[in-house]
């Protein structure tokens, strides 16, 4: 089946159990699918755009209300939609980071935070994770002192990933933020794996900025995301344009330079809005997701030699495994080498693990039903058994 010349229609989620680490929270809801058709044209949301002519003021469809609802939901003061979490990082970095300014990241930070700082001309300083791959408030304080000595100035921003993309570990962002605030360092809470997945309370955390990803965790089309801010920071990152044409003397009203004017339109925005009621509901039931994750992990850990690299018990469904001493041993002599593992999974209707990977790999059980989790657990056991891992 094709949806255009040379483009096969994708059916991954229709035909398989998909445990891809980054795809789990972004799958569209049925309402979002309806929305991307009804609002497929980008400027569709502009039908009823009236003065002051800015996206977040439009009432039909209810875009203005959506912005207010998201702010309230995250317990922050102001929200804008952005084309992906990375564009939220970029807006904040462009506002606060000058040439050579040090910016705190962590040794588990996502590459898009690095790029945002690079583009703004800043230099990165990573708070090191401890031996358990956790970022601690203590390490944060030590790093800040180190930066002050080395760079002769305080870090201008700190980007903290609540749940990191490498291990899916949940760091004590509230305690880390408390340390940063003692040095008056504004904190960007990276909620790419949390906003839309579990409850997030920006004020309780103490974050200046909360960034979320629509296509990673809010069941929305890409590129989409949100940037939520406190009232204190709103006038900074959402300042309105001050530029003026030298000949025409034109000004541009309440358009915001860091947002490049209006941001998301059509399918991306209305898709995010259409999924939002279900997203708000699902974050209340993350315990069920952890329970499904536990079912799969217990099966995996029953296979001798299999280790979990993520914190355990799990606090998030994104999980990193070490199977050097189990599934990878099979690969050494298997005629398909490492591909036997992903092939065997695919034959059982499971996709999402990098083909060929048998040493260290990630998966995400988010969104599976309990039945699917049980099936997945049995599949891992069966593959281990078929390849003699229980008879050793």
Residues 314-373 that bind a second copy (CB under 8 A): 351
- The distance of closest approach from Cβ of residue 111 to a second copy in the complex, given in angstroms and rounded to an integer, is 5
Give the contact letters, 65-104, x = binds to a second copy (CB under 8 A), - = no.
x-----------------xx-xx-xx---x----------
61 touches a second copy by CB under 8 A: yes
Pairing of the two strands 360-364 and 318-322: antiparallel
SS3 per residue for 16-68: CEECCCCCHHHCCCHHHHHHHHHCCCHHHHHCCCCCCCCHHHCCCCCHHHHHH
155 touches a second copy by CB under 8 A: no
Site for a second copy in 279-308 (CB under 8 A): none
In the list 17, 32, 210, 368, the residue contacting a second copy (rule: CB under 8 A) is 32
Scanning 54-62, 198-206, 324-332, 381-389 for contacts with a second copy by CB under 8 A, the matching segment is 54-62
Radius of gyration of the chain (CA): 23
Q: Which residues contact 373 (CB under 8 A, 6 or more apart)?
A: 292, 293, 295, 296, 365
For a second copy, which is the closer residue by CB, 116 or 344?
A: 116
In the list 185, 207, 226, 274, the residue contacting a second copy (rule: CB under 8 A) is 274
Q: CB–CB of 209/237 below 8 Å?
A: yes
Scanning 15-23, 339-347, 360-368, 374-382 for contacts with a second copy by CB under 8 A, the matching segment is 15-23
For a second copy, which is the closer residue by CB, 62 or 313?
A: 62
214 touches a second copy by CB under 8 A: yes
- The distance of closest approach from Cβ of residue 26 to a second copy in the complex, given in angstroms and rounded to an integer, is 5
- The distance of closest approach from Cβ of residue 100 to a second copy in the complex, given in angstroms and rounded to an integer, is 13
- The distance of closest approach from Cβ of residue 381 to a second copy in the complex, given in angstroms and rounded to an integer, is 26
119 touches a second copy by CB under 8 A: yes
Rounded to an integer, what distance in angstroms lies between the CA atom of residue 133 and that of residue 144?
19
In the list 107, 234, 343, 374, the residue contacting a second copy (rule: CB under 8 A) is 107
For a second copy, which is the closer residue by CB, 242 or 392?
A: 242
For a second copy, which is the closer residue by CB, 68 or 203?
A: 68
Residue with tokens 């309370």: 201
């Amino acid at each position: 089946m094709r949806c255009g010349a040379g483009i096969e229609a994708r059916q991954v989620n229709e035909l398989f159990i998909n445990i891809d680490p980054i795809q789990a929270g972004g799958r569209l809801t049925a309402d979002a699918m309806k929305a991307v058709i009804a609002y497929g044209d980008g400027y569709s949301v502009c039908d009823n755009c009236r003065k002051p002519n800015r996206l977040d003021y439009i009432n039909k469809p209810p875009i203005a209300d959506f912005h207010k609802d998201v702010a309230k939901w995250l317990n922050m003061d102001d929200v804008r939609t952005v084309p992906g979490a990375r564009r939220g990082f970029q807006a904040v970095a462009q506002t606060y980071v000058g040439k050579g300014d040090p910016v705190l990241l962590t040794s588990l930070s996502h590459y898009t935070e690095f790029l945002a700082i690079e583009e703004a001309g800043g230099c990165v300083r990573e708070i090191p994770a401890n031996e358990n791959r956790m970022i601690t408030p203590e390490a944060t304080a030590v790093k800040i002192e180190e930066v002050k000595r080395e760079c002769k100035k305080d870090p201008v921003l700190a980007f903290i990933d609540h749940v990191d993309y490498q291990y899916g570990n949940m760091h004590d962002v509230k305690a880390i933020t408390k340390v940063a605030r003692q040095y008056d360092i504004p904190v960007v809470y990276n909620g790419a794996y949390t906003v839309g997945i579990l409850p997030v309370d920006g004020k309780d955390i103490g974050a200046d900025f909360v960034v979320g990803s629509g296509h990673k965790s809010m069941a929305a089309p890409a590129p989409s995301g949100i940037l939520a801010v406190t009232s204190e920071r709103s006038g900074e990152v959402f300042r309105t344009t001050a530029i003026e044409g030298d000949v025409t003397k034109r000004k541009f009203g309440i358009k915001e330079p860091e947002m490049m004017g209006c941001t998301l339109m059509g399918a991306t925005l209305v898709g995010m809005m259409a999924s939002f009621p279900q997203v708000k509901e699902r974050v209340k039931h993350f315990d069920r997701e952890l329970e499904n994750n536990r079912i799969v992990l217990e099966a995996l850990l029953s296979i001798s030699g299999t280790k979990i690299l993520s914190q355990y018990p799990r606090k998030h469904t994104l999980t990193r495994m070490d199977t050097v001493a189990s599934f990878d041993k099979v690969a050494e002599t298997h005629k398909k080498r490492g591909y036997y593992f992903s092939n065997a999974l695919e034959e059982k209707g499971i996709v999402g693990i990098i083909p060929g990977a048998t040493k260290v790999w990630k998966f995400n059980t988010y969104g599976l039903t309990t039945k699917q989790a049980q099936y997945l657990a049995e599949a891992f056991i069966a593959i281990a058994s078929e390849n003699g891992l229980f008879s050793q």
